[in-house]
Amino acid sequence: MDFKNKVVIITGASSGIGEATAIKFAKKGANVVLVARRKEKLLEVKKKLSNFPGTSLICQCDVSDKEQVNQMSKKVLDEFGRVDVLVNNAGFVIYGKVNELSTEEIVAQMETNYFGMIYCTKAILPQMLEQHSGHIVNVASVGASFGVPGIASYCASKYAMLGFSEGLFHELDGTGVGLTVVSPIMVRTPLFDHPSFENFSKFSTGISLSSETVAKTIIKASNSSRLELVVPSAARAGIWFKQTFPFFVNPIIGNIFRKQLTKRNNPN
Ligand SMILES: NC(=O)c1ccc[n+]([C@@H]2O[C@H](COP(=O)([O-])OP(=O)(O)OC[C@H]3O[C@@H](n4cnc5c(N)ncnc54)[C@H](OP(=O)(O)O)[C@@H]3O)[C@@H](O)[C@H]2O)c1
């Protein structure tokens, strides 16, 4: 797809994967809407985009707040009159055993990672259906296919995102609107700056990706007829293996990540 003059909304655009995706779309001449809570970070990203064609619009918005999302969507439609790509990327994770996290911490991850995606989709989808065009990209994780100790509630939010996306994907057949989930393995971003990751051996479990690699897949996803793109694609074999032989794979995954959880709780 030629993204020149297309209107692209990216939630979680103030850092990491969202920022890298905004830069990639801007380089392709798209008008980019930058959505996140931290205005000063959004202004920094907007400044980086000023070197490229197309305009950018900042929308300070907490995606877990339905009213704020509706205001954001109104602002975008007032400004551009259409939306071609919606990238539901905003998300966060709190590390710790279910027994250690508060109920509020568990619910908050669902509110942003899952309901934030629902609010944005519900706000923008009617416009895309009216246009008979557009694409929704939902940034999930390989954690949408593996329940990992230490991030159970995060995995739940991504499983929910994948299940919802699969249902909606089928509903959208023949409407001109597409949907693709992007599921990366670990990415080197500020996601792990959350205090709960203190003593967590960051980026040491196998390979990790750059934000730019994931951004490249998000661009590809915006024009894809596939339901899910796993990054790197070789990781799909791991998902297949787990789903086909869960009794064999689950204990291995459980052991690896349980050890990391124990090490983090007893760093010495
Ligand atoms: N890093 C990884 O290993 C990895 C792997 C797989 C999937 N992912 C997914 O990739 C997405 C982006 O994460 P990242 O790795 O790029 O982390 P990041 O650098 O921490 O970016 C997260 C973004 O989400 C925004 N955000 C968080 N809560 C929000 C809310 N309530 N409303 C609006 N914006 C909110 C943050 O901005 P503000 O704080 O300014 O609001 C920030 O821009 C997430 O959905 C994450 O689950 C990451």
**What's the topology of domain 7-265?**
Rossmann fold (3.40.50)
The answer to whether the CB of 232 falls within 8 A of the CB of 209 is yes
Residue in 138, 131, 134 with CA at minimum distance from that of residue 11: 138
Q: Which residues line ligand 1 (CB under 6 A)?
A: 11-18, 36-38, 41, 62-64, 89-92, 112-113, 116, 139, 141, 184, 186-187, 189-191
Torsion angle of the four alpha carbons 183, 21, 63, 50, in this order, in degrees rounded to the nearest 10: 180
pLDDT recorded at residue 36: 98
- Distance, CA 63 to ligand 1 centroid (Å)? 11
Residue 112 Cα: closest atom of ligand 1: 31
Amino acid, single-letter form, for residue 125: L
Tell me the whole-structure pTM to 2 decimals: 0.97
pLDDT recorded at residue 1: 81
Instruction: Kindly list the averaged pLDDT for each block of 10 residues, start to end, along the chain of length 268.
Output: 95 98 98 98 98 95 98 98 98 96 98 98 98 98 96 98 98 98 96 89 73 98 98 96 96 91 76
Residue in 13, 20, 152 with CA at minimum distance from that of residue 90: 13
Domain ranges of the chain: 7-265
The answer to whether the CB of 42 falls within 8 A of the CB of 25 is no
Segment (H or E) for 77: helix 66-80
Residue in 235, 186, 188 with CA at minimum distance from that of residue 211: 188
Q: Tell me how far apart the alpha carbons of residues 123 and 103 are, in angstroms, rounded to a whole number.
A: 28
